[in-house]
Amino acid sequence: MLTSDFDYQLLPERIAQTPVEPRDSSRLLVIHRDTGALEHRSFRDIVEYLNPGDLLVANDSRVLPARVWTRKTTGGRVELLFLRELDGGWWEALARPAARLRPGTPLLVGNDEAQPPFEVGERLASGALRVRIQGDLQAIMARHGHMPLPPYIHAPLLDSERYQTVYSRVTGSAAAPTAGLHFTLDLLETLAQKGVRIAFVTLHVGLDTFRPVKVERTADHEMHSELVSVPDETARAIAATKGAGRRVIAVGTTAVRSLEAWASQDLKADAGWSGWTRLFITPGYTFKAVDALITNFHLPRSTLLMLVSALASPALIRTAYAEAIAHEYRFFSFGDASLIL
């Protein structure tokens, strides 16, 4: 397959800059794989498509305020965006500007001149830097950090909780699992009253998730590695759902990757798993755990667009995206949603 097979044109005004209120008032494009039919609904109408005994599986990761402004001892400002923790007190981080940062360079935060909390390390193959942390990074982020919105969002975020899901609880992501942003506590309660259950996985989202694929042959793309945790209770809930002939519905592509990575292990059906995965899902992949998917509209030439094309089909997803563009849906992180059945 070619990366260009997953390209499309989108006008900048179709990229959502702010979230809608309330969360569940966003639009929902329902995509029926069996017939190819498309329906235009509101997200809160999702209740009509989920049945008693179905299981929603969502990613409970919470976004770190991972964008921190620092300064060199010479006074130059450096923006750091922390991506993930490494061994021995080091983190992987993007720096801007990065060209003149040398290993050993100390970086200050706020008005503290006495103890630089960060020290620049070597550059990684990804282009990011290793940064040594002196002190409690989460405390530094809580005081000085900002929400790391994607680069295509230019409007200020007035309420940082709008870039968190209502069920987020495990801090560690550099970006939100955005399919879950549409759920409200009331909508979740309505689904529970109908008999739809919810279970959780944890995958801390990195910015690599959203980057376009730069090689032309998809087989040449090197997938980034992500740490997945599927608890025993989630594994048991999936086993019970499958045993009853009901559906497992992933909330977002990160939940899909978590579940499919777990299902690829040699485990008992009701056993959880934690580990690293480089799973790259493209058309032709056979899904082992996921039956349906709630997801936003994804960037062209991205691994996420390839994943949804694997669950439906490339032709149906192209048709659905053309329909969404024609009907002026809002795209990407703060945009509208789709339900692939």
Q: What are phi and psi of 178, to 5 degrees?
A: -70, -20
Predicted TM-score (pTM) of the model is 0.93
| 262 within some domain | yes
Distance between CA atoms of 181 and 252, rounded to whole angstroms? 10
pLDDT in tens, 145-179: 999 998 899 999 999 999 999 999 999 898 999 99
CATH number where 297 lies: 3.40.1780.10
Q: Are residues 100 and 176 in the same domain?
A: no
Here the tokens at position 188 are 């979740």
- Please report how the helices 303-311 and 314-326 are oriented relative to each other, as an axis angle in degrees rounded to 10: 110
Helix (H) or strand (E) holding 92, with range, is strand 90-96
Check pLDDT > 80 for residue 209: no
Q: Identity (one letter) of the amino acid at 95?
A: A
Q: Are residues 116 and 162 in the same domain?
A: no
Say which residues have a Cβ less than 8 Å from residue 134's Cβ, sequence separation at least 6.
115, 116, 117, 118, 119
**Lowest mean pLDDT segment, chosen from 91-95, 183-187, 244-248, 253-257:** 91-95
Domain closes at, from 114, 146, 178 = 146
**CA-based nearest residue to 109, from 84, 144, 142:** 144
| 117 within some domain | yes
Q: Are residues 27 and 170 in the same domain?
A: yes
Distance between CA atoms of 181 and 236, rounded to whole angstroms? 26
pLDDT at 327: 98
pLDDT in tens, 87-131: 889 999 999 999 889 999 999 998 766 678 999 999 998 789 999
| 151 within some domain | no
User: Alpha helices, DSSP H only, in 217-302?
Assistant: 232-243, 253-263
Q: Identity (one letter) of the amino acid at 237?
A: A
| 153 within some domain | no
Strands 27-31 vs 337-340: parallel, antiparallel or unpaired: parallel
Within 10 angstroms of residue 245's Cβ, the number of other Cβ atoms is: 7
CATH number where 99 lies: 2.40.10.240
pLDDT in tens, 32-75: 999 999 999 999 999 999 999 999 999 999 999 999 999 998 88
Check pLDDT > 90 for residue 247: yes
**Lowest mean pLDDT segment, chosen from 186-200, 204-218, 249-263, 299-313:** 204-218
Query: Whole-angstrom distance between the N-terminal and C-terminal Cα of the chain?
Result: 24
User: Above pLDDT 90, what percent of the chain?
Assistant: 84
Within 10 angstroms of residue 280's Cβ, the number of other Cβ atoms is: 18
Within 10 angstroms of residue 173's Cβ, the number of other Cβ atoms is: 27
Q: Are residues 188 and 304 in the same domain?
A: yes
Q: Are residues 130 and 162 in the same domain?
A: no
Q: What's the residue count for the chain?
A: 341
Q: Are residues 138 and 235 in the same domain?
A: no
Q: In terms of residue numbers, what domain contains 24?
A: 3-63+158-340
| 45 within some domain | yes
Q: Are residues 208 and 84 in the same domain?
A: no
Which region holds residue 246: left if phi is over 0, alpha if psi is between -120 and 50, else beta?
beta
Q: What is the band of 207 on the pLDDT scale with cuts at 50, 70, 90?
A: low
Average pLDDT value over all residues in the chain: 94
Q: Are residues 31 and 109 in the same domain?
A: no
pLDDT at 127: 83
